[in-house]
Amino acid sequence: MKILGIEFAPLYLPLERRLQTLAVLFYVLLFLQTFSIIGFFLFFYLLFTKYFWLSIFYATWYFIDFNRPYSGGRKVAWSRTWSIWKYFKDYFPVKLIKTVDLDPNQNYIFGISPHGVMSFSAMVNFGTDATDFPNLFPGLEPHLITLNGQFYSPLMREFFMMCGACACEEKSLKYILSNKGRCQKKGQVCALLIGGARESNEAYPGNYKFILNRRKGFVRIALETGANLVPVISFGENDAYNTVEVKRGSLIQKIQKFAKKYLNIGLPIIRGRGIFIYNFGLLPYRVPIHTIVGKPIPVKRVEHPTDEQIKKLHEQYIFELLELFEENKIKYLKNPDTKIEIC
């Protein structure tokens, strides 16, 4: 239904689709830090009411618990099975596909590409059980590795840790993969979006530009902990929005670089759809996303890896990533001639 060029959603849609849209809206608001603002507002507001003790209690708890995101997190299993995640998954839909079985007696770093604008597939695949991770990879425990800033807000930190997420810090990954403290058992998976905020600025539809050439920290950690590397590609992640391509040297690109350098966030210029309008909005489009988990690269633990060892393993990882892309692009891309650009 169009009015003055604006395309509205039909008045009558199945309840299932309405719930899917609300589930994705919840995540988009979460990603845009809406709940961080609410969390800080409640914290300071309660200080000036008769419930001030709640804020004081939480501040004490926050101080005591501050290092938890860096030491294995605090996963609450039932939070990963909420119905909202099923609707979130079905909105696109997102599908998790394995190519080989993974040994639960090993630890792994899943290198996920591309980052996309809001990392929808990474969240639903590795921050929830909606795509059936426990049955696809029995014995493995995933930890979605996300920005440290997600763990500063009173509400956000608890939410993300409930989903099994941990902070993106070297000490955090080593704690999980070295089987220390509460992570003594094997089968630990660090699901890491390697390209980060910079890659989100390059999330153009149909584009597979991966920021990898200078990202070698995860390879060094794999060597130091003996964790196997697993390339993971999400076909369709970059198609969720019509991202505007920014000209090199433009003011917008300078702002993006500033945000990346000082705030560690991406600021892609996007156009999506709304709740009731299809022409524009902040919600992603309904595009299928297929996340392919490749075969593991065996890694032998080296306490102090040399630059040459890191370089060799990094090159092998990129080779396996390219192989995984070429083997699967015919199935999941409209244009089979699409190539990966490694930057």
Contact call for residues 165 and 150 (beta carbons, < 8 A) = yes
Taking 50 as the pLDDT cut, the residues of the chain under it are: none
pLDDT at 132: 96
Give how far Cα 331 sits from Cα of 82, 207, 236, Å.
Answer: 31, 16, 12
Can you spell out the DSSP letters for 195-208? THHHHHTT--TT--
User: How many Å apart are CA 329 and CA 339, to the nearest integer?
Assistant: 9
- C-alpha dihedral sign at 290, 148, 161, 102: positive
Q: Please report the pLDDT score of residue 255 as a whole number.
A: 82
pLDDT at 180: 58
Q: What pLDDT, on a 0 to 100 scale, did the predictor assign at position 98?
A: 96
pLDDT value at residue 182: 53
- What does pTM read for this prediction? 0.91
**Per residue in 229-270, pLDDT tens?**
999 999 999 999 988 777 777 787 788 777 777 666 777 778
pLDDT tens per residue across span 18-34:
999 999 999 999 888 78
pLDDT at 249: 77
3-state secondary structure of 77: helix
Predicted pLDDT at 58: 92
pLDDT at 162: 93
